[in-house]
Amino acid sequence: MSVIDVRELRKEFTVRVRAGRLRREKRTVAAVAGVDLRVERGELLGYIGPNGAGKSTTLKMLTGVLTPTSGQVRVCGLRPVPERTRLALRVGVVFGQRSQLWWDLPLRESFDLLRHVYRVPAAAHAARLRRCRDLLDLDAFADTPVRQLSLGQRMRGELTAALLHGPEVLFLDEPTIGLDVVSRQAVRGFLAELGRAGDTTLVLTTHDLADIERLCPRLVVIDHGRVVHDGPIAALHDRYGSRRLVVADLDTALPQPPELPGAPLLRVEADGHRLVFALESAGVADVVAALAGRAALRDVSIVEPDIEDVVARLYAGKEGPLVNASGRAGAPS
Amino acid sequence: MGSVTATVAPPTESNVILWFRTFGAIVRSGFRRYATYRQAALAGAVTNIVFGFLRCYILFGAAGAAGTAAGYDRAQFATFVWAGQGMLAVILLWGRPELAERIRTGDVASDLLRPVHPVTSYLATDLGRAGWACVSRLLPPVLVGPLFFDVYLPARWSTVPLFVVSATVAVVLCFGCRFLVNATAYWLQDVRGPQILWTLGSGVLAGLYFPLPFLPDALFLALQLATPFPSLLQTPLDVLVERDPTGVQAGLVGLQVGWAVAILALCRLVQRRAERRLVVQGG
């Protein structure tokens, strides 16, 4: 049975818009317009979409905070809204933009309170807390009131707080928002570790696609309340035809650009001193060997396809191959 | 990470014991949370004491040369004022609208994601807060007042436990009223309007601005029966100064309990309705 099973999920909001001097019209806006989603135990799911796409709304419906307009939702076999308090014992939630900790209490006391709120046996609580303390370096600020913590420190506290009751599913709503590089890496490393253990299902929404590349084998993209992509990141690259590029700098320009099997020439730049090939069926070694046989190579660089470009195209709704896979391809280092 | 992600073991103890343990833990955390603000407590206590003098002299003025008014003598007025100044912060007639703030910012979502009913967890926190207020806000005026005024001390032993029950029920009732005022934010977003009405209404009708027996008897009785306000402050203080015989005192406390149960039930109803139409603000 899927840990998360969502069918035809919809959420509509009624908004009033001005229609004339005094008159206001009611208008229905669908924030989530028919989402289907199945997530298996232990999966790491990236759930992304532009601002206002319906990500957070979906998450709120999955955790029972919002009542869906229509559709079916089961999380851990429970219906989130009517069985919210039972579900709360089995899922953890981290909101990057809000805090579930108590502003006036130090982390140590917040964690102790959570043990009682979730009724976790002392031994299990201590074991989980020890793991989190080791992985997230909590000891240095465990006695500081939450209101005095830096965002990075607080987020590490939030992650711990969400995990102390051993949830089966962990929902993370933009957990790395606003964090510096070091804290972001700490959070990612921790989530990767959690994912490797394989018994916690992670659902991650983010705008930082590096989070997704690093953590989530499966990516669901939502736009205007609908799922527009569901599959591995590689499938997204395939769909948009984004390929790795080989950028070759030559000592002298060739009179006739070479034709390499499995690696079509995309561009010729710098008066023929720079050639850009897209890797289709050919390997890097084949292309480099073939080029070295024909011209004096000064430098060769490989440009990985950029997930951000692909996703930007996806949000913009442009289908079709991404010929210029990266604006940065022209200036390899 | 194996140990981090094991699921919750089925509880072995009875649910009632576990419930009280959870409730107790939240009460303790409420005490701890508010105990961090010591300077605020000091400032509040000083203010209460200053206003204690003011109110005391005004009521003495009303009592005039005869020394009695509205059924109170001077010593009863002094007890009414000084105990009232202490209780004001314990029942917390006028608190910060924390829940309303959390509704407005959307932080209330975190409260809904706990395995404890929001009304229960907010009540437990408030009891902890009241516990801290007993130490930091009730004691100072109650200790300072008798240094400057002759106060009335209860003559019957039964008055003391009745007052303790009455004051505790007043804390619960006042929490319920504030919860309802705050909960209007689920519908209105901005709670300032209801908050102003509450501040004004509760000050007058709970007996803070003047003891309610100054009103015509019928009006006082109507307020007591038909509104929860006199049960917040007037009733516990009347119990303390022994305005009525023991039987009537017990009846008044019973009325308070009735109001507290009704208001808490209303809180749960309002919370359920609110959750059904909740729009959690922000991304």
DSSP string, A107-145: HHHHHHHHHHHTT--HHHHHHHHHHHHHHHT-GGGTTSB
Q: Same domain, yes or no, for A228 and A250?
A: no
Tens digit of each residue's pLDDT (9 = 90 or more) over B195-214 = 999 999 999 999 999 999 99
- Tell me which of A18-27, A227-236, B10-19 is least confident: B10-19
What are residue B220's phi and psi, to 5 degrees? -60, -45
Average pLDDT over residues A208-220: 87
Nearest-neighbour CA in chain B from A9: distance (Å): 17
Query: Band of the pLDDT at A209, cuts 50, 70, 90?
Result: confident
Q: Same domain, yes or no, for A181 and A266?
A: no
Residues of A in contact with B279 (CB under 8 A): 13, 66
Looking at the domain assignment, is residue A13 inside a domain? yes
Q: Same domain, yes or no, for A67 and A175?
A: yes
What are residue B216's phi and psi, to 5 degrees? -55, 145
- pLDDT at residue A333 greater than cutoff 70: no
- pLDDT at residue A332 greater than cutoff 60: no
Nearest-neighbour CA in chain A from B91: distance (Å): 21
Residue B21 to residue A167, Cβ atoms within 8 A: no
Mean pLDDT of chain B, nearest integer: 92
Average pLDDT over residues B68-88: 95
Q: Same domain, yes or no, for A194 and A49?
A: yes
Amino acid present at A247: V
Residues in chain A: 333
Which of B115, B121, B280 is the closest to A89 by Cβ? Answer: B115
Q: Same domain, yes or no, for A26 and A131?
A: yes
Q: Residue A23 has which token pair?
A: 């008159």
Give the chain B residue whose CA is nearest to the CA of A96: B283
Q: Same domain, yes or no, for A84 and A175?
A: yes
- pLDDT value for B228: 97
- pLDDT value for A27: 87
Query: Could you tell me where the DSSP H helices lie in chain A?
Result: 55-63, 84-88, 107-117, 122-136, 151-163, 181-197, 209-215, 233-239, 284-294, 307-316
Greater confidence, A120 or A290? Answer: A120
Average pLDDT over residues B24-53: 95
Query: Band of the pLDDT at B10, cuts 50, 70, 90?
Result: low
The three-point CA angle B274-B280-B283 to 5° equals 175
Q: Same domain, yes or no, for A17 and A123?
A: yes
- pLDDT at residue A321 greater than cutoff 70: no
The three-point CA angle B259-B264-B268 to 5° equals 150
Classified as helix, coil or strand, A222 is strand
Residue B1 to residue A131, Cβ atoms within 8 A: yes
- Domain limits of chain B? 16-276
Tens digit of each residue's pLDDT (9 = 90 or more) over B135-157 = 999 999 999 999 999 999 999 99
Tens digit of each residue's pLDDT (9 = 90 or more) over A168-199 = 999 999 898 888 888 888 889 999 999 888 88
Question: Which residue is listed with tokens 């009006």?
Answer: B219
- pLDDT at residue B83 greater than cutoff 80: yes
Q: Which domain holds residue A266?
A: 243-304
Residues A80 and B112 sit within 8 Å (Cβ to Cβ): no
Question: Which residues on adjacent β-strands are paired with residue A219?
Answer: A46, A231
Quote the percentage of chain A above a pLDDT of 90. Answer: 40
What are residue B84's phi and psi, to 5 degrees? -65, -40
Residues of A in contact with B278 (CB under 8 A): 65-67
Tens digit of each residue's pLDDT (9 = 90 or more) over A24-80 = 888 888 889 999 999 999 999 999 888 888 888 899 999 998 889 999 999 999 999
Question: Which residue is listed with tokens 């070759």?
Answer: A248
ipTM rounded to 2 decimals:
0.85
Which of B25, B278, B283 is the closest to A116 by Cβ? Answer: B25
Residue B29 to residue A67, Cβ atoms within 8 A: no
Q: Same domain, yes or no, for A69 and A113?
A: yes
Cα A225 to Cα A9: distance, rounded to the nearest angstrom: 10
Pairing mode of beta strands A218-223, A245-250:
unpaired
- pLDDT value for A330: 36
Looking at the domain assignment, is residue A8 inside a domain? yes
Give the chain B residue whose CA is nearest to the CA of A76: B7
Tens digit of each residue's pLDDT (9 = 90 or more) over A99-110 = 889 989 999 999
- pLDDT at residue B7 greater than cutoff 70: no
- pLDDT value for B119: 96
Residues of B in contact with A105 (CB under 8 A): 29, 32-33, 36
Average pLDDT over residues A206-216: 85
Residue B33 to residue A173, Cβ atoms within 8 A: no
Residues A201 and A43 sit within 8 Å (Cβ to Cβ): yes
- pLDDT value for A96: 83
Query: Band of the pLDDT at B73, cuts 50, 70, 90?
Result: very high
Q: Whole-angstrom distance between the N-terminal and C-terminal Cα of chain B?
A: 30
- pLDDT value for B3: 45
Residue B283 to residue A93, Cβ atoms within 8 A: no
Tens digit of each residue's pLDDT (9 = 90 or more) over B209-262 = 999 999 999 999 999 999 999 999 999 999 999 999 999 999 999 999 999 999
Q: Same domain, yes or no, for A218 and A251?
A: no
Query: Band of the pLDDT at B117, cuts 50, 70, 90?
Result: very high
Greater confidence, A282 or B73? Answer: B73
Cα A1 to Cα A5: distance, rounded to the nearest angstrom: 9
Looking at the domain assignment, is residue A320 inside a domain? no
- pLDDT at residue A329 greater than cutoff 70: no
- pLDDT at residue B5 greater than cutoff 90: no
Nearest-neighbour CA in chain A from B2: distance (Å): 6
Q: Same domain, yes or no, for A179 and A250?
A: no
- pLDDT at residue A325 greater than cutoff 80: no
Q: Same domain, yes or no, for A12 and A131?
A: yes
Query: Band of the pLDDT at A318, cuts 50, 70, 90?
Result: low
Q: Same domain, yes or no, for A229 and A266?
A: no
- pLDDT value for B76: 96
- pLDDT value for A275: 87
The burial of A253, by beta-carbon neighbours within 10 Å (0-12 exposed, 13-18 middle, 19 or more buried), is given as middle
Could you give the number of structural domains in chain A?
Answer: 2
CATH of the domain at A111: 3.40.50.300
- pLDDT at residue A123 greater than cutoff 50: yes
Query: Band of the pLDDT at A319, cuts 50, 70, 90?
Result: low
